[in-house]
Amino acid sequence: MLRALFVGLSENKTLRRFAERSAVGRRVSGRFVAGTEIADAVRATQSVNRSGMSVSIDNLGENVSNPEEAQQSARLYQQILDAIVANHLNANVSLKLTHMGLDVDKEMAREIVSGLVVRAAAMQPRGFVRVDMEGSPYTQLTLDFVHELHRVPGHQECVGAVIQAYLKRSESDVEKLLSEGIRIRLCKGAYKEPASIAFERKDEVDANYIRLMKILMKSETYHGLATHDENIIREAQAFATSEKIARDAFEFQMLYGIRRDLQQRLVRDGWRMRVYIPFGTEWYPYFMRRLGERPANALFVARNMLRW
């Protein structure tokens, strides 16, 4: 229920306008967001890289409403790719198609993302663009985009998809992506979806996650297991050991600011870890979804607000 409440709040435009403009809002969001500028993301990435982890940089934003905003997002992502090269960062980028103008003009969004993948493919070492997965109205469109981008000669290894374990359709989507060797990030899913298309109970989502995770781990492609769930991480480790899957054949992924202890422990034990680092002025929907995932986060934020 709490999760549904925060996902609902994440879509409230008035609250969003107020929060993103207020100084307190920006300070509170610092728990999960690296800052507002590319330089902030670079600093956070350098620090995470120093502790032996790779990074995926995400410029926060979704559902832009005009072509100028989409082109602005595109320029920012080109600058992030430049910053990765200039600062020798061990990082790739994650983006949302609605941030690249999918709702405004599909063709434009396609050109923008294609331009970013071309740039990533030309980087030394080669870069990578992860297309985040949004709510279910975008699932098929997003997967079609990734399939199409991946088919372009020279783009293999440079673009990947995200699969949400709470969706009932995901096993069939996984099969199609794997048949073309497309890299997948597996997550549980962060949006509010109807019971007709999504598992509702945590045990069902977890069971589907583990089933899909084993399929990914047995495939020949390099995938990301995005979760902070210790039970699932233990299952993955046990499966890797019993199936003799090398520790560098896949990676764990976690969000910036969440379970740093677990991130460091995994790296110490020789597992690969990538941290997803979001930055930007449009942090509100992302932040609200994170609060909804754990009641303690809302309490933490409320306590800090009282202190200021």
Which residues of the shown chain bind ligand FAD in the complex (CB under 6 A)? 132-133, 162, 164, 185, 187-191, 226-229, 253-255, 258-259, 276, 290, 293-294, 297
Question: For this structure, is 185 an active site residue?
Answer: yes
**Rounded CA gap, 34 and 138, in Å?**
27
Question: For this structure, is 169 an active site residue?
Answer: no
Kindly state the DSSP code that residue 57 receives in the 8-state scheme. E
How crowded is the C-beta side of 206, counted as CA atoms within 13 Å? 12
Annotated catalytic residue: which of 16, 110, 119, 185?
185
Output 119 or 192, the one with its CB closest to ligand FAD: 192
Residue with tokens 């925060």: 6
Output 35 or 285, the one with its CB closest to ligand FAD: 285
Output 16 or 99, the one with its CB closest to ligand FAD: 99
Annotated catalytic residue: which of 58, 132, 173, 206?
132
**Rounded CA gap, 60 and 282, in Å?**
6
In the complex, minimum distance from the CB of residue 229 to ligand FAD, in angstroms, rounded to a whole number: 4
Tell me which residue of 290, 293, 286 sits closest to 94, measured CA to CA. 286
In the complex, minimum distance from the CB of residue 5 to ligand FAD, in angstroms, rounded to a whole number: 14
Residue type at 32?
F
In the complex, minimum distance from the CB of residue 211 to ligand FAD, in angstroms, rounded to a whole number: 15
Output 228 or 265, the one with its CB closest to ligand FAD: 228
Cis peptide before 125 (omega within 30 of 0): yes
Tell me which residue of 262, 236, 258, 263 sits closest to 247, measured CA to CA. 236
In the complex, minimum distance from the CB of residue 159 to ligand FAD, in angstroms, rounded to a whole number: 14
- Enumerate the active-site residues: 132, 185
